[in-house]
Chains A and B, each alone.
Chain A
Amino acid sequence: QSVLTQPPSVSAAPGQKVTISCSGSSSNIGNNYVSWYQQLPGTAPKLLIYENNKRPSGIPDRFSGSKSGTSATLGITGLQTGDEADYYCGTWDSSLSAGQGVFGGGTKLTVL
């Protein structure tokens, strides 16, 4: 069972918008920045959003992030078939021994 909670799946039509939630606690999301990772089929995860809402170079502004309290949200607008992937939220957890990384269980995005 993952430390952070995400919905197992979301779906939407091309061109539409979707949001993915990530719920945690005060020891992780509540006191640390959240990042999001995209894992396309058969590939390694890739950083999509860092510091709650910042995009690395090369990530289109269709992707956005936000955080409030102990929850975070990833938003994707103008959905494309190429966005079909698994999305993971991640952060640091200060409650585990000397601090450890934690991830959500992942959300599979289907673009219908």
Chain B
Amino acid sequence: EVQLVQSGAEVKKPGESLKISCKGSGYSFTDYWIGWVRQMPGKGLEWMGIIYPHDSDTRYRPSFQGQVTISADKSINTAYLQWSSLRASDTAMYYCVRRYCTSTSCSFDPWGQGTLVTVSS
């Protein structure tokens, strides 16, 4: 079964750092891009950026550039999303998702179960 399993919920204070993870299994992890998606409370899905684990080629949505860092360790089939200094506005559910491409099209599948990040003093 192809799946992405994310690390557990986090509660942090403003200014703290954080790194959450997304481990892939059931497929060749280095063959597919992994994206990160933010969902703020009661809101829709926002694309943050994407990484190709094979060579760690990373692209950020402009509004997230410099705010987060996306990385991957292909030796353990894991992608990461990290913050150096959290803000209350980072409180959200974060999903990782595989960009699955066939010979004709791409879609986002599967999704991780989500990691809830709460930032509060």
Which A residues fall within an 8 A CB radius of B?
A: 2, 32-33, 35, 37, 44-47, 50-52, 56, 86, 88, 90, 92, 96-106
User: With A44-B112, A98-B59 given, is the CB distance from A106 to B105 under 8 Å?
Assistant: no
**Which residues from 102 to 121 on chain B have a C-beta closer than 8 Å to any C-beta of chain A?**
102, 104-114
State the total of A-B contacts with C-beta under 8 angstroms.
73
Contact yes or no, B104 A97, CB < 8 A: no
- Complex Cα spacing A96 to B60, Å: 9
* Chain B interface bracket (under 10, 10 to 19, 20 to 34, 35 or more): 20 to 34
- Complex Cα spacing A105 to B46, Å: 9
Say which residue of A51, A52, A102 sits within 8 Å of B47 (CB atoms).
A102
Assess whether B45 is interfacial by the CB under 8 Å rule: yes
- Complex Cα spacing A101 to B108, Å: 9
- Complex Cα spacing A103 to B43, Å: 12
